[in-house]
Amino acid sequence: MDKFTVLNGLVAPIDRANVDTDQIIPKQYLASIKRTGFGEGLFAEWRKDASFVLNQSRYKGATILLGRKNFGCGSSREHAPWALMDYGFRSVIAPSFADIFFNNSFKNGFLPVVLSEAEVDRLFHECNAFPGFRLVIDLERQTVASTDGALTMHFDIDPFRKYCLLNGLDEIGLTLRHADKIRAFEARRKAQHPWYF
């Protein structure tokens, strides 16, 4: 997993609430047998519309997505963060996220940032008003700021998730530090509730 420290990136706004994973990566792209390559299917249905954000040249090369509430609702498909990452995004900012998408994102080194509705509104405003609008996401300091620093917003993040992202730490490695405890638990459960095994 790649480390996530500071991201300075162009922002692409998707001004819709409840963007679901079926839109993020339509299922016809899921049969791909490689983890990479999903970027092709990112928002495939919406991209058929020439005026869609990702088709506009001013957002070419964007690495930060700006969204509305309940971003990533729908299926538990891990492809959603993969597709976003494969396309080039490393982070999405929104007022709220669906649980599964939120969790899957962290596990893939993709950072979902929760800001308040008002802050997100403000960012949409700036983003629409200024072509080339960029933001700097500093994970260590937990801030989202304009490149000139005039606008700085703070976000919360679970310390454990932050630690893993900052260090590019993968979960199996973390877990196996507890191998003895897992073994002991297993033995105890088997003795107490043998019918489950």
Partner 1 sequence: MTARTLFEKIWADHVIVVSPQGEELLYVDFNLINEGQSFLAFDQLRMEGRSSRRPQQHLAVTDHYLPTINRDRGTAGMANPEIRRVVEMLDENATEFKLPHIGWGHLDQGIAHVIAPELGIAQPGMLITCNDSHTATNGACGVLAIPIGGGNQLRHVVATQTVWLKKPKTMRFTVDGVRPEAVTAKDVILSIIREIGVGGATGYAIEYAGAAIRAMSMESRLTICNMSIEGGARIGMVGPDDTTYQFLNGRRKAPQGADWDRALTYWKTLPTDADAAFDRELSFDAARFAPMVTWGTSPEDCSPVDGVVPDPSSIGDGDRRRHVERALDYMKLKPATPLQQVAIDRVFIGSCTNSRIEDLRVAAAVVKGRRVARNVKLALVVPGSGLVKEQAEREGLDRIFRDAGFEWREPGCSMCLGMNPDRLSAGERCASTSNRNFEGRQGPGGRTHLVSPAMAAAAAIEGHFVDIRRWT
Q: What does the binding site for partner 1 look like in residue numbers (CB under 8 A)?
A: 16-18, 20, 22-23, 26-28, 30-33, 35, 45, 68-70, 73-79, 82, 96, 98-100, 103-104, 107-108, 158-161, 163, 170-172, 174-176, 178, 181-182, 185-186, 189, 193-197
Nearest alpha-carbon partner for 13 in 70, 66, 68: 66
**Minimum distance from CB of 154 to partner 1 (Å)?**
19
- Burial group, residue 139, by CB count within 10 angstroms (0-12, 13-18, 19+): buried
**Minimum distance from CB of 155 to partner 1 (Å)?**
17
**Minimum distance from CB of 134 to partner 1 (Å)?**
27
Nearer to partner 1 by C-beta: 23 or 63?
23
Beta strands in 25-179 (DSSP E): 64-66, 91-94, 111-114, 134-138, 143-146, 152-154
Using CA atoms of 17, 21, 24, 30 in order, give the dihedral in degrees to the nearest 10.
-170
Nearer to partner 1 by C-beta: 2 or 186?
186
